[in-house]
Amino acid sequence: KNQVEQSPQSLIILEGKNCTLQCNYTVSPFSNLRWYKQDTGRGPVSLTIMTFSENTKSNGRYTATLDADTKQSSLHITASQLSDSASYICVVSARGYSTLTFGKGTMLLVSP
Amino acid sequence: EADIYQTPRYLVIGTGKKITLECSQTMGHDKMYWYQQDPGMELHLIHYSYGVNSTEKGDLSSESTVSRIRTEHFPLTLESARPSHTSQYLCASSDHRLKEKLFFGSGTQLSVL
């Protein structure tokens, strides 16, 4: 069964600090991996999409990494801001399938 | 910002009522989706469409129905709402030129009393 596991479930950090969120998946055959940011009460917004051949992709202060051999991805947030407080969702697409497998997300709270 | 709109944002209704959740996008995307999300849980696909007159059921069993008469419009209908339908409903569309990157609406929070 295709699964996406994210850790930690929740995280509190001080404003200005860095943090790293983890995503492990068992989706096969792998097509691409996405990270989304979801503010409370809003729809998710895409941060990055990585295919098998890409192992790093950045979007401003967000940097995602992918290790397709170990089926792990991480999202690193640099110099966190209060507006980074949100749920971060890892989503994996399987090649040849129309649906995506979503993780439950990591809830990040950036404290002043 | 994505050009995909959902109405209403919030809806509180009684059991047995028929409701339609509206979703429209102005990006010309062929593929559209409806997801259901409960607090702290992952998104579950309930319906999707590859284009006009195309609709498919998703992974999560749902008592709702959808239609796709126009490219830009993908409404979801519940014929008889029940308290178990209380959830957040998210509409999305995707762009094949961007590896099917999903663009989400702001969601409809439905409460059935």
Residues A4, A103: contact at Cβ < 8 Å? yes
Mean pLDDT for B52-77 is: 91
- How confident is the model at residue A79, as a pLDDT? 97
Chain A contact set for B62 (CB, 8 A): none
Rg, C-alpha atoms of chain A = 13
B:27-86 residues touching chain A, CB 8 A cutoff: 40-45, 48, 56, 58-59
Q: How far is A102 from chain B (nearest CA, A)?
A: 6
What distance in Å separates the CA atoms of residue A105 and residue A8, rounded to the nearest whole number?
A: 9
> Contact at 8 Å (CB) between A15 and A82?
yes
- Above 60 in pLDDT, residue B1? no
Which residue is listed with tokens 């284009």?
A: B51
Rounded CA-CA distance A105/A10 in Å is: 8
Specify whether the CB–CB gap between A63 and A78 falls below 8 A: yes
Please say whether the beta carbons of B75 and B68 come within 8 A: no
| CB-CB under 8 Å, A42 with B106 | yes
Confidence of residue B97 (pLDDT cuts 50, 70, 90): confident
Confidence at B87, pLDDT banded by 50, 70, 90: very high
The tens digit of pLDDT for each residue in B31-63 reads 999 999 998 889 999 999 999 999 999 877 778
| Distance from C-alpha of B95 to C-alpha of B113, rounded to nearest angstrom | 37
Tell me which residue of B58, B61, B84 sits closest to A101, measured CA to CA.
B58
Contacts of A15 (CB under 8 A, 6+ apart): A80, A81, A82, A110, A111, A112
DSSP designation for B99? T
Q: Which residues of chain A are within 8 Å of residue B48 when distances are taken between CB atoms? A: 98-99
Q: B101 and B111 in contact (C-beta within 8 Å)?
A: no
Residue B101 to residues A29, A46, A83, Cα–Cα distance (Å): 19, 7, 23
- CB contacts < 8 A, A to B, total 51
Cα separation, A64 vs B11, whole angstroms: 36
Residue ranges of chain A with per-residue pLDDT less than 70: 97-98
Return residues 7-26 of B near A (CB < 8 Å).
Answer: none
Mean of per-residue pLDDT scores for chain B: 92
- Please tell me if residue B109 touches chain A, with a CB cutoff of 8 Å: yes
Per CB-CB distance under 8 Å, the chain A contacts of B95 are none
Total Cβ atoms within 10 A of residue A31: 17
